[in-house]
Amino acid sequence: MIIIAGNLKTRPELVDELYEALTSLVADTLQEDGCLDYHFAIEDRATGSVLVYERWRDEAALGAHLAQPAIGAVLGGWADRIEITVRKFDAANERGFAD
């Protein structure tokens, strides 16, 4: 399993617009083969920070997602207005919270 987590930062006055652009991708992305979770949340309007959380079955599913034209359009459209602090993790041995 692949986990994507971190945040995107933009100017505070643009954070709502960035959040709307990102969340416009959620419904379709959740239907993609291999997508387990795909979520965004405004972390702090004052600093322009948006949290990113994704889970993918495997690297191939994530690669197919990143190749989608809608993803490229949003990321490309925001490329010069965001700072990306997002990391990718390989996860194995998934278990319950209390295990």
What's the pLDDT score for residue 43? 97
Q: Is residue 29 part of a domain?
A: yes
pLDDT, tens digit (0-9, with 9 covering 90-100), for 17-75: 999 999 999 999 999 999 999 999 999 999 999 999 999 999 999 999 999 999 999 99
Alpha-carbon torsion angle 87, 90, 92, 98, nearest 10: 0
Kindly state whether residue 74 falls inside one of the protein's structural domains: yes
- Residue labelled with tokens 């997602």: 65
Residue at 95 is within a domain = no
Q: Give the range of the structural domain holding residue 35, as residue numbers without chain letter.
A: 2-90
Whole-prediction pTM:
0.92
Structural domain count, the chain: 1
Model confidence at 97, pLDDT cuts 50, 70, 90, reads confident
Q: Is 63 among the domain residues?
A: yes
Give me the half-sphere count of Cα atoms (radius 13 Å) on the Cβ side of residue 66.
Answer: 9
The CATH number of residue 10's host domain is 3.30.70.100
What span, in angstroms and rounded, lies between the C-alpha atoms of 2 and 54? 8
Residue 47 included in any domain: yes
